[in-house]
Structure 1
């Protein structure tokens, strides 16, 4: 293990700076809440996660899958949202107990590749593919803004799209440049409330429009079948909807910055510390499950809307016309005014995901550079400088991919397939870290263990299929 992968765990009078959210100090210890009100007040990382998850995956990939397959893949939407949260909670529990980031943990899983582990190398490769996905999100938001208020020409013309892409990039960089956790959490909460209420309301109201769905439609979606021609979309959707591999990884950073590990304190082997850990792990589980509920509601809503409205009209979102096609979900049910309601909702959904990515990805790359020995991750000022530099540099790179390709749907789908492959590596890391660094006291819950086994099995099957498909050995199309 490299020095950078070890958290600073010192007591009062130690050397850790008091403003380091990744250091464990006895002076930061807090007792966990014992009631629901106190627990709710300590939630937060899950809202950032929801903002990150309910974006390109739900609005673009899930809706596109509904448009292409109809109701028949409803079961896959439910499974995708359900199975991954248990791996997320297992990884976050390890973080609270050890005070380490996920990428530091991945570096402990053999075999090593230089200073890091093979999973770190896979993460780097995955993130290059994810750049396409983030470019697709920026492109989708730019297209929505451009349709709403075109600049210098046609709404989907290159001039207007380029101008709005630049505006989106500059605005998110300016908003996230400070890197303060509290700002990220507030932005996540506001956008989550907006897109959850608007999306669920439309899905629930469809039975009273010209595009209703009923019990027979929902039943047909629970038959565990995959229609011909939808397998690629289905794999991408499983990889990108719900909690993905990158969101699981990022969640550990938000748990650390929120304070769950700091409030637990350094592991001094005492019973008091073990009880605090159990308490803050309970809070984390409530946070994760609240995020899961939001993600599930929105994912199901987007899929139902796509299946009920777009599929029946044989409309499948493609290219820069993706936003125009998706807007039919609203205009066909609410009239011309629905276009503007949709555009506002699409901007909220996509912009929230861009904000979450702009806040999280620089942290992950900064931690990776620390693990590689480029700088000392424990140096708070150096860490903040690198995070801010990457906050300025990375979003324009993502945007450049979009301006070059201008295929938001395919770009998001590519990121989803890469995420599906990386999920398998995350599962391997979780089981390794669980067996080597989590005391048996914290892994004795049979219900949670059973859920973790089922979750890991499903993710493993997806990962194996995705690897075979990339190698040209996949089955189906």
Structure 2
């Protein structure tokens, strides 16, 4: 071990704070496409979180109920949100501040927080149902695959497996390190994409094939009667939702995009460095969008092709059994085991992603409320670990109380859809208060953001009117 000239052992290097911008941490962004690919990561974590409950449960249920008629909504749902996500991430990289910190700048304030922060808190309580539903879906798949203390899907078996799933997710995340989350989720999203897209592409070779007429029906921009509720939930939960957009800013910070950009010292060097890391972020978002779109379309197509003709709609704890028909009816009874393994991988990776991200957001909220010092690395790390132990068991209890994964996921999806409107408002305000003109001069990105915001606003208004019992156009 090296010593100083006086013979004393030097202190160990301090841990780099991913939420602090220091000039000594800056580094130039890669200039080649291959170099940028090597710096991807936050979007892959986001893809693993997105391609789970929304796609496996809500999107497949929508396909089972509506057939191909709402295929267009799947495409719009995944396409329109990424521009808002990209805009919010740009603000974070340039300022070094996470989303919830920025939301507090959007008045009016209620106490120490903005109305958007309070709306996020309310939305997150709704999301607890969704996360509980994900734990329940994972437990149901495990219970069918290997019943414990009773038959498959018995109360005892579901309870034991829910405890095991929750404990496993918490234990995986005890280090609290970003790279642990990234590695787990990259493996998960790779398996999800290969299995799901492969099955969807193979359907035309089976008795449940689809053709050009089905696809044409799916692009007719209609909403069949009786599907509005689940369609709104799907728009809120598929693709990148409001909570994922918010979470993405934290992963960008922990990956290092903002830290490597460095504090704004007004120099041209810093501006060029920022432009380089923003290009990496946009590629990260683009790759994530492609993965989400492919998987979402695949889940919807499978539900529309296999479940809809048979009148099978996933409901209650029988959801997993119903969904397994997507594989067994195409490949044979043996494929139930393949489906169960895939379902466990899909849903468990979402549980891990949520168990990693939500404690960070709540820790930031406690910091904004003055309960802890968010800028104190030790206090922040300790609080994140405590919440990682405490929050997943709460979500599990929500499942054991409600015991309906589909309904629970839809509740979370509707809550996310409402919060999405607030995020759009925040993004436009932060764009003109925290992003220098140089970084918002691209007319194409601005046009895409305008279209994205308008689409989200229209769907949001439609959702509110539908909730109030008012039929638009009637």
Aligned to 1:340: 337
Alignment check: 8 A CA contact 1:421 1:462 kept: no
Alignment check: 8 A CA contact 1:422 1:463 kept: no
1:134 equivalenced with 2:123 (yes/no): no
Q: Distance in 1 between matches of 2:463 and 2:162?
A: 31
Aligned to 1:80: 77
Aligned to 1:192: 189
1:32 equivalenced with 2:29 (yes/no): yes
- Residues 62-461 of structure 1 aligned to structure 2 (within 5 Å): 62-461=59-458
CA drift of 1:430 comes to 0.2
CA drift of 1:413 comes to 0.3
1:416–1:152 CA distance, 2 compared to 1 (3 A) = same
1:121–1:474 CA distance, 2 compared to 1 (3 A) = farther
CA drift of 1:476 comes to 9.7
CA drift of 1:292 comes to 0.5
CA drift of 1:470 comes to 3.9
Alignment check: 8 A CA contact 1:231 1:476 kept: no
Between stretches 18-27 and 466-475, larger displacement belongs to: 466-475
The alignment covers a number of residue pairs equal to 462
Aligned to 2:7: none
Alignment check: 8 A CA contact 1:362 1:387 kept: yes
CA drift of 1:469 comes to 3.7
CA drift of 1:188 comes to 0.8
Q: Distance in 2 between matches of 1:472 and 1:402?
A: 29
For the residue of structure 1 that corresponds to 2:324, the secondary structure is helix
Q: Distance in 2 between matches of 1:344 and 1:475?
A: 43
Which 4+ stretches in 1 moved above 6 angstroms?
none
1:472–1:369 CA distance, 2 compared to 1 (3 A) = farther
Q: Distance in 2 between matches of 1:476 and 1:401?
A: 38
Alignment check: 8 A CA contact 1:421 1:464 kept: no
1:107–1:144 CA distance, 2 compared to 1 (3 A) = same
Q: Distance in 2 between matches of 1:78 and 1:470?
A: 24
Give the alignment's Cα RMSD to 1 decimal. Answer: 1.3
CA drift of 1:17 comes to 6.2
CA drift of 1:60 comes to 0.1
CA drift of 1:474 comes to 5.7
1:351–1:474 CA distance, 2 compared to 1 (3 A) = farther
Q: Distance in 2 between matches of 1:188 and 1:256?
A: 17
Aligned to 1:44: 41
For the residue of structure 2 that corresponds to 1:24, the secondary structure is coil
Aligned to 1:12: none
Aligned to 1:9: none
CA drift of 1:171 comes to 0.2
Q: Distance in 2 between matches of 1:84 and 1:429?
A: 14
CA drift of 1:52 comes to 0.6
Alignment check: 8 A CA contact 1:96 1:264 kept: yes
Structure 2 gap segments, 5+ residues each: 1-12
Q: Distance in 2 between matches of 1:430 and 1:62?
A: 27
Q: Distance in 2 between matches of 1:274 and 1:21?
A: 20
Aligned to 2:18: 21
For the residue of structure 2 that corresponds to 1:267, the secondary structure is coil
TM-score by length of 1: 0.95
